[in-house]
Amino acid sequence: MAKIAINIATGSLQQAEMIVGIDLGTTNSLVAIIHPESKIPVALKEHDSSSLVPSIIHFDALGNPTVGEAARLFLETDPKNTIFSAKRLMGKSYKDIQENAGFFTYKVIDDDTESLVKVQVGNTFYSPVELSSLILKELKQRAEHILKTPVSKAVVTVPAYFNDAQRQATRDAGKLAGLDILRIVNEPTAASLAYGLGLHKDEEKTIAVYDLGGGTFDISILKITNGIFEVLSTNGNTYLGGDDIDRMIVQYWMQQSGISLEELKNNQELSQGLRLRAEEAKKYLSTHDAFEVNWNGDILALTREVFEGLIQSLIDQTIQCCSNALSDAKLTPSAIDTIVMVGGSTRVPAIKKAVSDFFGRPVNDSVNPDEVVALGAAIQADILAGNNKDFLLLDITPLSLGIETMGGLMDVLIPRNAKIPTKAGRQYTTHKDGQSDMRISVYQGERDLVKDNRKLAEFSLKGIPGMPAGLPKVEVSFLINADGILVVRAKELRSGVEQEIEVKSQYGLTDEEVEKMLLDSITHAKEDMQIRALVEARTEGEEILAVTEKFIAKNASLLTAEEITATASAMQALQLALTMEDKNLIHSKIEELNEVTRPFAERAMDVAVGEALRGRVI
């Protein structure tokens, strides 16, 4: 049932605000909603125009942006001021995109290769976040225009391989556009939802999502168990797509009619014209056997057979990626229960056939491949709006998260594969008297020593009031919200001093890196265990030495000369053991020191208790 609210200002009834689903694509973007009456997901479009909004921004001489179809017209005529594929720059440094820098016809700033990229248009610099926000703003306005109601909440999709930084950047773009992004969902997960997959409890399925768009290709292997989508592996080529198919057709026609590359380069009208005809031919051949057009007196023709020959190598490349993704997931093609097709280029029959042949079963292609991701996002939005209460979409953490403790050990707070959203907390204390700062270093990974894991963030809890070592109670809590963004909080419970940070790592991990970290943790398991035991023994030894030293300084008057000498020599022996790599030796020296100090520690305790009973401050 839709919620009804009353507008206090006007006294009128109003519907609770709708949450929209947005596919923020590299080439095209679109908005979808669950239709309030039919309850069916629909892509929003104005009258009979397309639901797709090209993800292109053109800046005029005054720096005013135009987004979408109107901006597309400037791609060839004003390339320096026309920004396409901004999504490829999200959360990236120049170093990351260096290899493909030639792809961008506009100016991507390269003076600081390590920090996040900027795009220069005239004298203005734009971050990819700002550029994406312009696209989101356009989508928001379109949706508001069509729905005739304000839109401020959305679910936005991102590729499964997007790292923390890229997800965070997407979220920031939403904020800039005046959209509250309630959830970031993986594109293959959204596509699966649009096919109704994962919407039933107890469902267990392995799904392959094959996504071939205009400029990118990716294949994701997902496992759904009880509503949890786990990305088992992803593979692909971020510079392969329908545009390459168009280019192959242009090349073929150039060969046929003897047009040289030089001619094409120098004649913008010719190159643009051929490219548009090529795309037209490609689309036509998805439903017909032959294409022919008379263009300026030239006949441009292409049969489906020749076309399929032209793109065979491209198809083979994508199938190789499928094979890689399967082997990364340690699965064979027959283990895949369902194949979902995403992206306009999957309309090519030869592509469908190749994918179906590879997996040995028919593909799911009944939902419009351009809209399927946005439709899935709308389904997720509807779930978040509370309209589908039995169902909660969950994701899991790929690697364990924890903090560094004494001796460089990893203390895991949230183990790998934990369902998110999730939270965990643990208490820690200081190891020095009067310690006022506590450094919290957050790590991700499976190894016992933090140096082998990946550091995500570090901060200091400052202003802990002076207390003896071991007395402050610092509670460190980890909260992973539904988008997989980690918030770490540290609070000293006695004084209430607290500090919180949102972990925005500059660079996230690729799937290969995650896999390598997992593999390393298995290969080094035994060695790690031994090191952990040694580090723990050393920490214990150091603590005992510190306590003993303090005790002797304070209670020297209660000890005999022999006791002091015996203690000093036991301490020395322990100190020496700490420099060696033998945990058993450390333990035995700890034991020996305890033996020596036990009698007078007990005596001192008696004195202290006696004094306390007499009402003295100790």
Nearer to ligand AMP, 28 or 364 (CB): 28
Strands 180-186 and 153-158: parallel
Answer for the pair 51, 40: CB distance below 8 angstroms, yes or no.
Answer: no
Give every CB contact of residue 123 below 8 A, 6+ residues apart in sequence: none
d(CA 22, CA 381): 9
Pairing of strands 4-6, 53-54: unpaired
468: amino acid identity, one letter: P
Nearest residue to the partner ligand AMP, using Cβ: 242
Q: Does 318 bind ligand AMP (CB under 6 A)?
A: no
Question: Regarding beta strands 401-405 and 422-428, do their DSSP bridges make them parallel or antiparallel, or are they unpaired?
Answer: unpaired
Pick from 314, 333, 315, 313: which is nearest to 323 by CA?
A: 333
Q: How many residues touch ligand AMP (CB under 6 A)?
A: 18
Binding flags for ligand AMP, 364-383, as an x/- string (CB under 6 A): ------x-------------
Site string for ligand AMP, 272-301 (x = CB under 6 A): -------x--xx--x---------------
Shortest distance, position 314 Cβ to ligand AMP, whole Å: 12
Stretch that binds ligand AMP, among 22-30, 81-89, 434-442, 458-466 (CB under 6 A): 22-30
State the nearest-atom distance from the C-beta of 2 to ligand AMP, in Å: 31
What is the 3-state secondary structure of 298-366?
A: EEEEEEHHHHHHHHHHHHHHHHHHHHHHHHHCCCCHHHCCEEEEECHHHHCHHHHHHHHHHHCCCCECC
- The three-state secondary structure class of 563 is helix
Catalytic residue among 130, 187, 395, 448: 187
Kindly state whether residue 91 participates in binding ligand AMP, applying the rule CB under 6 A. Answer: no
Residue 85 near ligand AMP by CB under 6 A: no
- For 373, half-sphere exposure in the C-beta direction (CA atoms, 13 angstrom radius) is 29
- Strand pairing report for 4-6 and 13-15: antiparallel
Is 390 designated active site?
no
Q: Which is nearer to ligand AMP, 210 or 478 (CB)?
A: 210
Which one of residues 97, 194, 319, 348 is an interface residue with ligand AMP (CB under 6 A)? 348
Q: Does 214 bind ligand AMP (CB under 6 A)?
A: yes
Rounded to an integer, what distance in angstroms lies between the CA atom of residue 518 and that of residue 398? 9
Considering only residues 347, 416, 447, 589, which one is a binding residue for ligand AMP as defined by CB under 6 A?
A: 347
Q: Which is nearer to ligand AMP, 307 or 478 (CB)?
A: 307
Residue 213 is a binding residue for ligand AMP (CB under 6 A): yes
Question: Taking a C-beta distance cutoff of 8 angstroms, is the pair 54, 72 a contact?
Answer: yes
25 binds ligand AMP (CB under 6 A): yes
- For residue 486, list its beta bridge partners: 480, 503
Phi, psi (degrees; rounded to nearest 5) at 329:
-85, 0
110 catalytic residue (yes or no): no
Measured from the CB of residue 532, what is the shortest distance to ligand AMP in angstroms?
Answer: 48
Q: Which residue in the list 164, 211, 448, 452 is annotated as catalytic?
A: 211
**Residue ranges of the alpha helices (H) in 215-285?**
242-257, 261-266, 268-285
How is residue 25 written in tokens? 């694509």
Q: Is 87 an active-site residue?
A: yes
User: According to the binding rule CB under 6 A, does residue 343 interact with ligand AMP?
Assistant: yes
Complex with ligand AMP: residue 286 or 303, whichever CB lies closer: 286
Q: Would you say 339 or 490 has its CB closer to ligand AMP?
A: 339
State the angle between helix axes of 583-613 and 525-555 in degrees (0 to 180), rounded to the nearest 10: 30
As measured in angstroms, the least distance from the Cβ of 23 to ligand AMP is: 9
23 touching ligand AMP, by CB under 6 A: no
* The binder of ligand AMP chosen from 93, 345, 364, 422 (CB under 6 A): 345
Stretch that binds ligand AMP, among 24-32, 221-229, 535-543, 601-609 (CB under 6 A): 24-32
**Separation CA 116–CA 165 (nearest Å):** 10
CB of residue 288 to ligand AMP, shortest distance in Å: 11
- 28 contacts ligand AMP (rule: CB under 6 A): yes
User: Which residues of this protein are in contact with ligand AMP, per CB under 6 A?
Assistant: 25, 27-28, 213-214, 241-243, 279, 282-283, 286, 343-345, 347-348, 370
Which residues form the catalytic set? 23, 87, 187, 211
